[in-house]
Copies of this chain bind each other. A is one copy, B any other.
Amino acid sequence: MDSHIAPVELEKAYRLLNHGPTVLVSASHGGVDNVMAAAWACALDFSPSRLTVVLDKMTRTRALIEQSARFVIQIPTARQVQLTHALGTTSLLEDPDKLQKSGAELFRIEGHDLPFVAGCSGWLACKLIPEPHNQSAYDLFIGEVVGAWADTRVFREGHWHFEDAGPEWRSLHYVAGGHFYAIGDPLIVATGSES
């Protein structure tokens, strides 16, 4: 594992998602790895650390998650905008070489039988909390975060440091039709305590 990658306390894992980045969702089952992009992922709880993600029935990644009950939500960076768009617009069902063509590089983290995408800024390993009604009626999946990591060059001590890292580290925020925004400048409100 890259020496810049450090664990994030599970109770602070929501902070990787709190500012609303577009994410990459990865999963593995029966020797098949896949990765898709998703703009509709969101924190759900602090403790236990939980999140939601919307997964279309047409995606291969969803089937892998239904089979393995495990997935990774990771935060891609501005450097990965082409990769993110490619992973969000091609399907493994149509192109068996999708991952190879996209240039996605996968790595493993000990103790987690999951494919992690290299070069991201944060990773949340999740266990599916089965909710068949949500999954079937709304394509809505709930995960419990069982492990979290971040690249300390942009997230450390429980906080993003986009302003100190290079522009290539900014998170991606997708709108539509190939249009993303990078996260921008900090705005800090004076406050006596954490909220």
Residues of A within 8 A of B (CB): 15, 18-22, 39-45, 50, 52, 54, 78, 81-82, 85, 88-89, 133-134, 138-140, 142, 158-160, 162, 170, 172-191, 193-195
Q: Are A184 and B185 in contact (CB under 8 A)?
A: yes
- Report the separation of the CA atoms of residues A138 and B43 in the bound assembly, to the nearest whole angstrom: 11
- Please tell me if the beta carbons of B188 and A176 are within 8 angstroms of each other in the complex: no
Q: A178–B195 contact, CB under 8 A?
A: yes
Taking the nearest CB of chain B, how far is it from the CB of A162, in angstroms? 7
Residue contact B183 to A89, C-beta cutoff 8 Å: no
* Identical copies of this chain, number: 2
Chain B minimum-CB-distance residue to A193: B177
Residue of A22, A134, A142, A189 with most partner-chain B CB within 10 A: A189
Contact call A184/B186, Cβ cutoff below 8 A: no
Which residues of chain B are within 8 angstroms of A85 by Cβ–Cβ distance?
189, 191, 195
Contact yes or no, B172 A187, CB < 8 A: yes
Given contacts A52-B52, A78-B187, A82-B189, are A181 and B19 in contact (CB under 8 A)? yes
Complex: chain B residue closest to A89, CB-CB: B195
B176 & A158 in contact (Cβ 8 Å cutoff) = yes
Q: Mind listing 20 A-B residue pairs with CB under 8 Å?
A: A15-B175, A18-B173, A19-B22, A19-B173, A19-B181, A20-B20, A20-B173, A42-B42, A78-B187, A81-B189, A172-B187, A173-B183, A176-B194, A176-B195, A178-B189, A178-B190, A178-B195, A180-B188, A181-B187, A182-B186
